[in-house]
Amino acid sequence: MPDATGLELLAQELGDAAIETVYYRKRATIVVDPAQIRAVLQTLRAKGYAFLASVHGVDHYPEEPRLGVIYELLDMSRVDRVAVKLRVPTEAPRVESVTADWPTADHQEREVYDMFGVVFEGHPDLRRILMPEDYEGHPQRRDFPLGGEPVIFTRDETKWLEARSE
């Protein structure tokens, strides 16, 4: 990870795209403006962070803007990692897709779309990847119910059936 000063220098190079920097437990995160994510990633690529390790989503419910997308970048020559984070509200969850520059983001952006509902504009094939194609809802959002079967113990079974049939 770049240390705290290195992170500040990196953020300065990004100019107005960088909103905030967080350096916590030796992990460097830059929060950027969602509209400029492609340019930010290209700048970081030029600085040496050429490997996109992971694209994943977070739901910050109940803080707004709720939906976050995190890009984990890795510089293999210096073994350095930096994370780029952006946050979009649920009403307008549109982010430009970076698949054209980083082909590894293909399936990962589809997963973020499937689980959180973030729409990646410019993605070659934005469909649900883990849930069935006709599923409604975005399961990983924090206000989506966990679901599952009710747990019925054997001794309660008859009572449950009677209650259901009433």
Residues that bind another protein (CB under 8 A): 22, 24-27, 29, 50-54, 56-59, 70, 72, 76, 79, 81, 83, 102-104, 106-108, 111, 115, 128-132, 139-140, 142, 144-149, 151-152, 154, 157-158, 161, 164-165
Closest CA to 43 of 17, 78, 80: 17
Residues 88, 58: Cα–Cα separation, whole Å = 11
The residue among 15 and 22 lying less far from another protein, judged by its C-beta, is: 22
Smallest gap from residue 51 Cβ to another protein (A): 6
φ/ψ of 9, rounded to 5, equals -60, -40
Smallest gap from residue 74 Cβ to another protein (A): 8
The residue among 17 and 85 lying less far from another protein, judged by its C-beta, is: 85
The residue among 5 and 158 lying less far from another protein, judged by its C-beta, is: 158
**55, 69 Cβ separation under 8 angstroms:** yes
Q: How many CA atoms, within 13 angstroms, populate the side-chain half-sphere of residue 41? A: 27
Which pair of structure tokens corresponds to residue 80? 């350095």
Secondary structure class of 6 (helix, strand, coil) = helix
The residue among 19 and 129 lying less far from another protein, judged by its C-beta, is: 129
The residue among 79 and 91 lying less far from another protein, judged by its C-beta, is: 79
Angle between helices 37-46 and 4-14 (to 10 degrees): 120
Smallest gap from residue 138 Cβ to another protein (A): 11
For CA atoms 111, 113, 118, 124, the dihedral sign is: positive
**73, 59 Cβ separation under 8 angstroms:** no
Smallest gap from residue 35 Cβ to another protein (A): 23
Smallest gap from residue 121 Cβ to another protein (A): 19
